[in-house]
Each structure stands twice: as structure tokens, then as C-alpha cells.
A and B are shown apart, each in its own frame.
Chain A
């Protein structure tokens, strides 16, 4: 085929341009560390990368949810432990009182002890975590247990009332798991808010329970004191069962934490496999493109110097 000067120049330009373009691409990929820099680099890959990125963000948010909710659950678990301890003390006191001979001073000591335990119970019931009352259900700004202002129910019968609500707050910890993070106080303190006492028929709320015991001790009525033990046991079991429930949520949250961090690592690995370059390959590619470019340049400069016109006569 005949060749002409402009054809030679044109071909040289095509080759050097192509080589320089490839070199720039290789440089961009190696420098950014990304295989996909724009959607058209790999359309299905971009789709997967977007989806994985979104999944990672979701997993991060779930992990965040656990981080925020777990201390609340831990605090609730602690408060329930305290409460169980107080009720145990009340029971010991009741058992001791039932065996007393009631010579006068003993009964007033018991009453004073009971008053102390009662205020401990109320304090525990109104435990705050941050700004939130943990046993108010979802009415977190209201102290759940307040002195009964009367007239209904009669303050002489029921010293404290529950003013929280039934609300259960949930948090999503995995895409298929939402866990409650609170136990409403009426369930814990055994208030009848419609549907009977949670601890079972014949039981009263813990505060009425303490008041009844106090009344019995003040009256020095041993039979009546012993009669309170059933109610105390029911309330004790009720608090323990609440504690067990919270414990199971705690362990599920811990499980979720592990699952989430595993999932996140796996997703990040997958994203990296799709989005990131394989560095050794990229560097080898860059080197070879550099060589190609250099070759193209040197061939061009040699070829364009060759002509009959440039040979000395």
C-alpha cells in the first residue's frame, strides 16, 4: 500500500494517543485504588456496589441501635436485680417478724426497716437512665410510680399508683429482628391496669404488699404477717421472671452485635472485591502501559525522521 506523510502522522497519532489514553486509565485506577470509578466502568458491578454500600450503612445503623439500646437494657436489668434484692429482704424481714414475740420495740424496728425498704423500692421503680424513666413504658418523661393522691383508688388501700403506660419500645437490631428494650412498670411492680395482676390472682402491687406487711407488723398479728408471704413470693417470682426476660434480650443483643460485625466485615470484603483494584495487577498493568507508550513515542520519533529528503546527498 502507498503511504503518505499525513497517513504516517495520523497513524503515529492514533497509536500514541491510544497508548497515552491507556496509560492515563491505568494511572487513574492505580492511584485511586478503585476499579469502578463511574457506573459505565462496570454496570452490574455498580449495581452490586451500590447495594452493598447501602447494606453496610444499614448494618452500621443496626449496630448503632444496639449500642444505644444495650445500656438501657443493662440499666433495666440492674434495677430489676436491685428490686429482687429488696423484695428478698422484705421476705426475710416478714419471716423474722412472724417468729417474733412482739414485746413492743421489735415491731417498731421492723416498721422502720420496712419504711426504708419501701422508699428503696420507690426509688428503684423511678430509676432514670439519662433523662428517661426506664419503667414508664413509653411515657419516659414521667416518673412511673407516684404517691396515690386518691380518692380512687383509696390511698389507704393502695399507697402508690402507676402513671406510666403499657408502651413497649422496640429497636431493630437485625433486618429480621426487632427487640423490646423496656418492660413497662405495671408488669414489674404487679399493678392491675386492666386484665388482672401480672403476678397472678390474689397478689397485689409491690407497694401495697409492703403496706399490708407493715400494717400486719404494726398490729402485731403473726397470722396476718405469715399470710403476706404468699403475696411476697408471687411478687419476687414476678420480678425474677422480668429479669429473665431482660436477660434473654441482652443475650440476643449481644448475639446481634456479633452477627452485625461479621456481616459488616463480609459485606466490606465483597464491596472491596467488586470496587477495588487488585493492586499487583494494577501496577503490572501500569508498568506495561508505560512501556507501550514509550515504545509508541520512540517509534514515532524514529519513523518521522525517515525520508529520502533527510538523507544527505
Chain B
């Protein structure tokens, strides 16, 4: 036979449990709008059958328990989906970073338009045609120098845009490394606190939520793998090397490579970090392969312009009857899109090859006099050499493409890469959204559900209170018995 006040204590445990459930419910509603919050649930278990009631049932007939135990408050989550969500975050961040950088590059190039590099190229060749038609006109010759100089400046500008972009990417890499280190440290601290709390009976749900959010954030920067359970054995690694294990953090650092780019290394042993995803991967690929590839193509265009035009220009004769002179400046280290310019005076000036800048009369528009002709006067009205140069426009260079084709190929490459990045960014964004939605479906707070539960807990609380009241009446009857 159970004790006299056994029923009261059972009812009391019911009251306590329902109230505690209401507390959790209030907490859920309070955090309903936090996207990193995972809803919590009070786990209610039947109270164990106490010794005294077993004594009362020597025959082993089942007996009621001692009420309800409201034990752990658990987080509702699905770690499989969280894992997927993390991977989707890595892929999405990688592609959207590529997409935004390549869009910037497209904007810098500004094609197709009436004001892009293509137009400058066209104007340059057209100017040679103009000089070929009116070789003795100084304004026309000046126009050619202007257009040539505009072409050079445009190439310099596009090249500088790409260099600036590489510089920005280096800053971004350093910034990301700082961010990763900060997050890794915070995860380490959290692991410490989670360990301390979990050793007691208090669940560290808030800290775990915070850590999940950090890991998700970290996954955007770089591809990480997470092993181990939620407590002490928690490990995050990048490319097979541990970044965080429990409270131990292995920091990253950047160091300049031979190209002046910031590469990422492990602080502890200076080994390079194997990065295969996330924004860090996008940054490294764009900076080390994609943009340098475009710069190389642009340099090739500049080189071909200078080589072909200069070679023909040296064959020609200028208004003063001089020959063998350069139109574009040639550099010992080679011409690039960054340094291409009109031929200027060296120091000390080379009298056999003086500057063309400011000297339109030095444009070698004419071919040398035919030695078979008996008439000697220099042909100022001859624009044959200018015409030959103008026709270089359609001549294949040593790359088997014309200069125009080389430029179109470059634009095609950039456009293709940007288009791929756009498609991929969109697709990965979509899958990220789907996983986010799934994760929110499981872990997010539903107000309707909480409202329904509120009624449920309220009714249960009412009922338990009623039981208590009736018990009280019954005891009153017992106490008042004479």
C-alpha cells in the first residue's frame, strides 16, 4: 500500500513538469526568429516505481510509478542534414565568390559596347587606314598617335584592373585567415565550456547552438570535415589536418609566395594548407590561375600588336626620309599589357631611333624609294606602308589568330567562366536553400505547434491541480473522521 501522501507527490510532479514544459515553450517562442536556434523539447519520463510501493506488492503485481520525471531538455535536430547543409554552404560560397569576382572583371572590361577595348583596337587600325589615305596630313598622323596612345592606355587600364583584383584577393585571403582563426579559437573556447557544463547535469544547448552556427559559418570560408561527437572528441579538420580538436586550436597564417601572393600555411609546422572548397578555394583559384591566365592572354595581345606593327614600321620611311624606327616602345623584359606605350626617347637618346611621341612626322607611312626609279624626291604622299600596317588587322599572328580574334577569345573565356560561375552559384545557392529549409523544418520553431502545446500543457497543469484538490478533499475527509 502506498503512503498517504503518495498521490499528492505524484500530482505535484505533474504540476512541476507541465510548468517546466511551459518554460521551455516560452524559451522556444522567445527564440523563434533566431535562424541558428534549434528548438528544444522537455523530455518527460515516467517516475520509477519506488521501493515502498514494491514492498506493497510482494506478488510482483505492477504498480504505478512515482509521477513524472522531467529530465533533459533536448535539442531537436538531424545531424545528417546539418552535415549536408555545411557542404552546400561550402560549395555555394565558393561559386558565389567566383561569380561576384568575375562579374567585377566583366564590368571592368565593359564589352560588348561602343567604348570597350575592341573599339580602341578598331580605331587604331582605322587610323592607319586614314594615314594610308592621307599620308601627308599632319592632323591625320596626329590622330594616329592619339588613337595608338588610347589603345595603349586602355590595355594598361585593363591590366591594372586585373592586378588590382589580384591585390584585393590577397587582402581577402588574409582577412579570411584571420576570420578562420577567430572562429577556430571561439570553437575551442566553446568546447571547453561545453565540456565543463556537460560534466554537470546542465545541458549546454545554447553553447551547442552557437557552436553549430560557427561551424556552418566556417564551412563557407573553407571546406571542413567534422568528426567526433558533440562533446570532448569534437574535431574539425581542413584537408586532413586538424584545425580544432576539443580545446586545442591549430592556427593558420599567410605567407608571400614567389608571385607576391598570400598563400595559407599551418602556423605549427609551416605546411601548406590543402584547401579544396569554400571562399578560400575560390580566392586561391581566381588569384593563382584564372586571373593570371587572362592577364597572360592580354599580355600576348599587347606583345603581338607591338611585334607586328614595329616590324612593319621599321620597313617604312617617315616624312624626313628616315627608316628602321620603332612605333611602340620595346622593353628588354618584354612587352606586357601593363607597360605597352608609344616609342619614347631612351636616356641618353638613341639618335638612330628617336621618340615617336609628339613627332607625327616620324610615322613611317611610306615605303622606301624604288631604286629602279630615276626620280629621287621622297614620297611624302605615299601611304603604302601605313596601308600594309592597317592590313595587319586581318593577318594571323604567331599564335595563329589575328589580334582581334585573340581579344575575342579572351572575352569569350572571361564570359564563359562568368557564365559557368553564375549557373553554378545559382544551382548551389538553390541546394543550400533547400537544405536550409529542411533543417529549419526540423529544428525551427513552429508557432502553431507551440500554441497547441501551450494548450496541452495548460490543460495537463489544470488537471494535475484538480487531482491535487481532490486528494486534499479526500485527506480532509480522512482527518475529520471521528
| Among candidates B379, B404, B452, residue contacting A139 with C-beta atoms closer than 8 Å | B379
B47 cross-chain contacts in A, Cβ below 8 A: none
User: Given A5-B32, A39-B415 in contact, is the A307-B106 Cβ separation under 8 Å?
Assistant: no
Asked whether B448 lies within 8 Å of A308 as measured between CB atoms, the reply is: yes
User: Given A61-B130, A141-B136, A142-B377 in contact, is the A6-B32 Cβ separation under 8 Å?
Assistant: yes
User: Given A5-B33, A307-B451 in contact, is the A54-B381 Cβ separation under 8 Å?
Assistant: no
List residues of A (1-28) whose CB comes within 8 Å of B's CBs: 1-7, 9-11, 14
Which secondary structure dominates where chain B touches chain A? helix
A3 cross-chain contacts in B, Cβ below 8 A: 441, 446
The complex places the Cα of A215 from the Cα of B436 at a distance, in Å, of: 110
Asked whether A172 lies within 8 Å of B390 as measured between CB atoms, the reply is: yes
Q: Which of B33, B112, B377, B391 has the most CB of A within 10 A?
A: B112
User: Given A39-B414, A308-B452 in contact, is the A5-B445 Cβ separation under 8 Å?
Assistant: yes
| Among candidates B382, B416, B452, residue contacting A138 with C-beta atoms closer than 8 Å | B382
B442 cross-chain contacts in A, Cβ below 8 A: 2
The complex places the Cα of A167 from the Cα of B102 at a distance, in Å, of: 53
A289 touches B (CB below 8 Å): no
Asked whether A138 lies within 8 Å of B366 as measured between CB atoms, the reply is: yes
Asked whether A193 lies within 8 Å of B374 as measured between CB atoms, the reply is: yes
List residues of B (400-441) whose CB comes within 8 Å of A's CBs: 404, 407-408, 411-412, 414-416, 418-419, 421-422, 433, 436-437, 440-441
Asked whether B111 lies within 8 Å of A39 as measured between CB atoms, the reply is: yes
Asked whether B39 lies within 8 Å of A4 as measured between CB atoms, the reply is: yes
| Among candidates A7, A36, A164, residue contacting B441 with C-beta atoms closer than 8 Å | A7
Q: Report the minimal beta-carbon distance from B237 to chain A, rounded to whole angstroms.
A: 30
User: Given A54-B122, A61-B126 in contact, is the A38-B107 Cβ separation under 8 Å?
Assistant: yes
Asked whether A50 lies within 8 Å of B118 as measured between CB atoms, the reply is: yes
The complex places the Cα of A163 from the Cα of B374 at a distance, in Å, of: 10
The complex places the Cα of A69 from the Cα of B137 at a distance, in Å, of: 13
List residues of B (465-480) whose CB comes within 8 Å of A's CBs: none
Asked whether B102 lies within 8 Å of A40 as measured between CB atoms, the reply is: yes
B366 cross-chain contacts in A, Cβ below 8 A: 138
Q: Report the minimal beta-carbon distance from A2 to chain B, rounded to whole angstroms.
A: 5
B119 touches A (CB below 8 Å): yes
| Among candidates B119, B369, B377, residue contacting A164 with C-beta atoms closer than 8 Å | B377
- B444-467: contact bitstring with A at CB < 8 Å (1 yes, 0 no)? 111111011000000000000000
B201 touches A (CB below 8 Å): no
A169 touches B (CB below 8 Å): yes
Q: Report the minimal beta-carbon distance from B89 to chain A, rounded to whole angstroms.
A: 14
Asked whether A193 lies within 8 Å of B452 as measured between CB atoms, the reply is: no
| Among candidates B134, B418, B440, B445, residue contacting A68 with C-beta atoms closer than 8 Å | B134
Q: Which of A41, A61, A162 has the most CB of B within 10 A?
A: A61
| Among candidates A5, A38, A165, A172, residue contacting B132 with C-beta atoms closer than 8 Å | A172
Q: Give the segment of A78-86, A129-137, A245-253 that binds chain B.
A: A129-137
B62 cross-chain contacts in A, Cβ below 8 A: none
A14 cross-chain contacts in B, Cβ below 8 A: 433
Q: Report the minimal beta-carbon distance from A66 to chain B, rounded to whole angstroms.
A: 9
| Among candidates B121, B376, B387, B415, residue contacting A46 with C-beta atoms closer than 8 Å | B415
**Range class of the B interface residue count:** 35 or more
- B126-170: contact bitstring with A at CB < 8 Å (1 yes, 0 no)? 100110111110000000000000000000000000000000000
Q: Report the minimal beta-carbon distance from A139 to chain B, rounded to whole angstroms.
A: 4
Asked whether B123 lies within 8 Å of A57 as measured between CB atoms, the reply is: yes
The complex places the Cα of A47 from the Cα of B414 at a distance, in Å, of: 11
| Among candidates A11, A65, A308, A309, residue contacting B129 with C-beta atoms closer than 8 Å | A65
The complex places the Cα of A64 from the Cα of B122 at a distance, in Å, of: 14
Q: Report the minimal beta-carbon distance from A16 to chain B, rounded to whole angstroms.
A: 13
The complex places the Cα of A38 from the Cα of B415 at a distance, in Å, of: 8
A1 cross-chain contacts in B, Cβ below 8 A: 441
In the complex, the chain B residue whose C-beta lies closest to that of A2 is B441
A182 cross-chain contacts in B, Cβ below 8 A: 381
A226 touches B (CB below 8 Å): no
Q: Which of B107, B133, B433 has the most CB of A within 10 A?
A: B133
Q: Report the minimal beta-carbon distance from A132 to chain B, rounded to whole angstroms.
A: 6
Asked whether B129 lies within 8 Å of A43 as measured between CB atoms, the reply is: no
Asked whether A6 lies within 8 Å of B440 as measured between CB atoms, the reply is: yes
| Among candidates B129, B370, B381, residue contacting A132 with C-beta atoms closer than 8 Å | B381
The complex places the Cα of A44 from the Cα of B408 at a distance, in Å, of: 10
A148 touches B (CB below 8 Å): no
Asked whether B112 lies within 8 Å of A46 as measured between CB atoms, the reply is: yes
- A235-258: contact bitstring with B at CB < 8 Å (1 yes, 0 no)? 000000000000000000000000
| Among candidates A46, A62, A139, residue contacting B111 with C-beta atoms closer than 8 Å | A46
A137 cross-chain contacts in B, Cβ below 8 A: 375, 379, 381
| Among candidates A38, A58, A131, residue contacting B136 with C-beta atoms closer than 8 Å | A131
The complex places the Cα of A169 from the Cα of B135 at a distance, in Å, of: 10
User: Given A170-B384, A170-B387, A178-B387 in contact, is the A49-B112 Cβ separation under 8 Å?
Assistant: yes
The complex places the Cα of A106 from the Cα of B185 at a distance, in Å, of: 121
Asked whether B390 lies within 8 Å of A39 as measured between CB atoms, the reply is: no
Q: Report the minimal beta-carbon distance from B88 to chain A, rounded to whole angstroms.
A: 14
Asked whether B381 lies within 8 Å of A167 as measured between CB atoms, the reply is: yes
A64 cross-chain contacts in B, Cβ below 8 A: 126, 129-130, 133
Asked whether B379 lies within 8 Å of A39 as measured between CB atoms, the reply is: no
The complex places the Cα of A140 from the Cα of B463 at a distance, in Å, of: 117
B74 touches A (CB below 8 Å): no
B75 touches A (CB below 8 Å): no
Q: Apart from A14-B433, A50-B408, what 9 extra A-B contacts exist at CB < 8 Å?
A: A4-B441, A10-B433, A39-B411, A43-B419, A64-B129, A139-B379, A162-B375, A169-B382, A172-B129
Interface residues of A (CB under 8 A from B): 1-7, 9-11, 14, 36, 38-41, 43-44, 46-47, 49-51, 53-54, 57-58, 60-62, 64-65, 68-69, 131-132, 136-142, 162-167, 169-172, 175, 178, 182, 193-194, 275, 307-309
15 contacts between A and B (CB under 8 A): A2-B449, A4-B444, A7-B437, A40-B416, A43-B412, A43-B419, A50-B404, A132-B136, A138-B379, A139-B380, A165-B373, A169-B381, A172-B132, A193-B373, A307-B448
